[in-house]
C-alpha cells in the first residue's frame, strides 16, 4: 500500500518545485534581438554594462568561460601567461580583472593575460564576459606565487653542549624567507632516518616569512654522535615545478654526557658525590 503512494508524492513534489521555479523564468528579461547582441559596428559602448560587474553579483547565467591553464604556479619574478576564452559567441565583451596590468577587454573570443615578471605575492585574477541578456559571468584563476627557502638552519632550543641521556631537548628547524608558508613541508632526520614530517598549521600568508618548527627528543645512549638535520620543501602540487624547491640544514651533532661506558659512570659518581657534598 505505502509503496504505491511514494511515486505520487515524488511526482507531486516535483511538480510543486517546478511550479516554484516557474515565476523566476518569467521575471528574467526576454532575450534581445540578435542585432542587439552583435551590433554591426563596434561603436556601441560597452561601458554601462561594466558598472554591472562592480558589486560582483553571483553568476547566474550559463557561462562557458575557460582559462588555460586552469591554475598557475609561478616563482616570484618569473613570467606568467594565461588564455581566457569562451566557447559561446553571444557575449560581446571579454576581459581580465583584479590585475595591475590587465589587457584591454576584447570583443574576440579569447584574451591572453601575460606578464614578463610577477612582482606581487597575492594575485587573484578573474576573467569575465559580458552580454546584453545573460548578465556578467566570471571565472577565477587560482595563482600561487612561490619563493624557495632562502636558508634552513637547525639548533637546540636553549641548550648548548653535551646532553644527558633520557632528558628532553627541543630541536628547532628554522626556514628563512619562504612563500607560501602553507605549502611548506619540513622533515627532521637523525642520520638517514626520517623522524617526523611537519606542516605549518595556521600560517596562511602569501608573502615570504620565516617559520620555525620544533621536535622534542630525549636521546638514548645510542644517540651519542648522532647527526640531526632538517629539510624544507615547498609542495606546490601538480602545477608546480618538476623538482619541488627545497633546502637542507647543516648537521647538528648530539654529544651525550652520560653514556654506559665505565669511565663515564665514574664521572657520574664523582659528580653525584660533589652534589651530595653541596647538599650536606
Residues engaged in binding ligand NAG (CB under 6 A): 83, 85, 110, 112, 157-158, 170, 191, 202-203, 227, 229, 250-251
Quote the least distance from Cβ 161 to ligand NAG, whole Å: 15
DSSP H or E stretch at residue 86: strand 80-86
**Rounded-to-integer distance, Cα 267 and Cα 257, Å:** 9
If we measure between CA atoms, which residue out of 232, 198, 231 comes closest to residue 215?
Answer: 198
Burial of 85 (0-12, 13-18, 19+ CB in 10 A): middle
User: In the complex with ligand NAG, which residue's Cβ is closer, 38 or 110?
Assistant: 110
User: Do strands 193-199 and 184-190 pair parallel, antiparallel, or not at all (unpaired)?
Assistant: antiparallel
Quote the least distance from Cβ 111 to ligand NAG, whole Å: 8
User: In the complex with ligand NAG, which residue's Cβ is closer, 203 or 260?
Assistant: 203
User: In the complex with ligand NAG, which residue's Cβ is closer, 12 or 112?
Assistant: 112
User: In the complex with ligand NAG, which residue's Cβ is closer, 83 or 88?
Assistant: 83
DSSP H or E stretch at residue 50: helix 47-53
Residues 84, 129: contact at Cβ < 8 Å? no
User: In the complex with ligand NAG, which residue's Cβ is closer, 15 or 157?
Assistant: 157
Phi, psi dihedral angles at 130 (to 5 degrees): -115, 145
Quote the least distance from Cβ 41 to ligand NAG, whole Å: 24
Quote the least distance from Cβ 112 to ligand NAG, whole Å: 5
Residues 97, 107: contact at Cβ < 8 Å? no
Quote the least distance from Cβ 169 to ligand NAG, whole Å: 10
Amino acid at each position: 500500500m505505502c509503496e504505491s503512494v511514494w511515486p505520487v508524492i515524488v511526482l507531486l513534489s516535483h511538480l510543486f518545485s517546478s511550479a516554484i521555479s516557474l515565476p523566476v523564468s518569467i521575471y528574467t528579461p526576454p532575450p534581445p534581438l540578435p542585432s542587439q547582441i552583435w551590433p554591426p559596428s563596434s561603436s556601441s559602448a560597452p561601458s554601462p554594462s561594466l558598472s554591472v560587474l562592480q558589486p560582483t553579483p553571483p553568476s547566474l547565467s550559463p557561462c562557458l568561460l575557460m582559462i588555460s591553464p586552469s591554475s598557475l604556479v609561478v616563482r616570484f619574478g618569473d613570467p606568467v601567461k594565461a588564455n581566457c576564452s569562451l566557447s559561446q559567441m553571444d557575449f560581446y565583451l571579454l576581459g581580465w580583472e583584479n590585475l595591475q596590468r590587465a589587457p584591454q577587454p576584447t570583443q574576440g573570443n579569447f584574451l591572453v593575460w601575460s606578464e614578463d615578471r610577477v612582482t606581487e605575492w597575492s594575485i587573484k585574477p578573474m576573467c569575465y564576459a559580458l552580454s546584453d541578456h545573460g548578465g556578467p559571468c566570471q571565472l577565477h584563476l587560482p595563482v600561487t606565487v612561490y619563493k624557495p627557502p632562502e636558508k634552513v638552519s637547525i639548533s637546540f632550543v636553549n641548550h648548548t653542549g653535551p646532553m644527558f641521556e633520557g632528558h628532553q631537548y627541543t630541536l628547532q628547524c628554522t626556514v628563512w624567507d619562504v612563500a607560501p608558508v602553507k605549502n611548506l613541508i619540513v622533515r627532521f632526520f637523525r642520520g638517514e632516518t626520517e623522524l617526523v614530517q611537519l606542516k605549518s598549521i595556521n600560517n596562511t600568508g602569501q608573502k615570504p616569512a620565516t617559520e620555525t618548527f620544533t621536535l622534542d627528543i630525549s636521546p638514548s645512549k645510542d644517540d651519542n654522535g648522532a647527526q640531526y638535520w632538517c629539510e624544507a620543501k615547498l609542495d606546490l602540487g601538480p602545477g608546480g615545478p618538476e623538482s619541488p624547491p627545497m633546502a637542507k640544514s647543516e648537521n647538528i651533532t648530539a654529544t651525550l654526557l652520560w653514556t654506559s661506558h665505565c669511565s663515564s659512570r665514574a664521572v657520574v659518581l664523582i659528580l653525584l658525590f660533589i652534589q651530595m657534598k653541596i647538599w650536606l
